[in-house]
Amino acid sequence: MKVLKMQDKINYNLAALMGSPDVTDEEYVEQFGLDPASAHTPLINTLMLDQVQQKNIDHFIRTGMSEPDAIRKAGNIRLDAEKQVKTRLAAKGLL
């Protein structure tokens, strides 16, 4: 099994994938309370999307949207974000 050195570790967070190399997965883990095991894996984006989707649902409901509509709208936003992550991963040769 190959052991990765720190400089060999890939940051999978969307900001890094979009060209912000200074944004590390460790920062995402700390800032958003994510599982540390998700750092340097594609799982980090899934965990972030889980958080954002729930925050979107809560926001939409607070602003008067029905729960089913809020869930549907947040789900559509998540699908778009998942496509963006997949596109970025593919562009970096990480799929």
Residue 64 CA, chain-centre distance (Å), reads 27
Residue 1 within any structural domain of the chain:
no
Residue 40 within any structural domain of the chain:
yes
Q: Residue 76's domain spans which residues?
A: 6-91
Amino acid identity of 48?
Answer: M
* The pLDDT of residue 65: 98
Residue 69 within any structural domain of the chain:
yes
Residue 39 within any structural domain of the chain:
yes
Q: What pTM was estimated for this model as a whole?
A: 0.85
- Tell me which residue of 93, 66, 67 sits closest to 12, measured CA to CA: 93
Amino acid identity of 68?
Answer: P
20-71 per-position pLDDT tens digit: 989 999 999 999 999 999 999 999 999 999 999 999 999 999 999 999 999 9
* The pLDDT of residue 2: 47
For the chain, what is the domain count?
Answer: 1
